[in-house]
Amino acid sequence: QKEVEQDPGPLSVPEGAIVSLNCTYSNSAFQYFMWYRQYSRKGPELLMYTYSSGNKEDGRFTAQVDKSSKYISLFIRDSQPSDSATYLCAMASGNTPLVFGKGTRLSVIA
Partner 1 sequence: GAVVSQHPSRVICKSGTSVKIECRSLDFQATTMFWYRQFPKQSLMLMATSNEGSKATYEQGVEKDKFLINHASLTLSTLTVTSAHPEDSSFYICSARGTGPYEQYFGPGTRLTVT
Q: Which spans of this chain sit near partner 1 (rule: CB under 8 A)?
A: 31-32, 34, 36, 41-46, 49, 51, 88, 92, 94-98, 100-103, 105
16 versus 42: smaller Cβ distance to partner 1: 42
Least distance to partner 1 from the beta carbon of 77, Å?
21
- Measured CA to CA, the distance from residue 101 to residue 49 in angstroms comes to 15
- Measured CA to CA, the distance from residue 72 to residue 50 in angstroms comes to 10
Nearest to 88 by CA among 30, 53, 49: 49
44 versus 64: smaller Cβ distance to partner 1: 44
DSSP 3-state assignment of 26? coil
Contacts (Cβ under 8 Å, ≥6 apart) of 43: none
Least distance to partner 1 from the beta carbon of 100, Å?
5
Least distance to partner 1 from the beta carbon of 19, Å?
19
17 versus 56: smaller Cβ distance to partner 1: 56
Least distance to partner 1 from the beta carbon of 72, Å?
13
Show contacts of 54-59: CB within 8 Å, 24+ apart: none
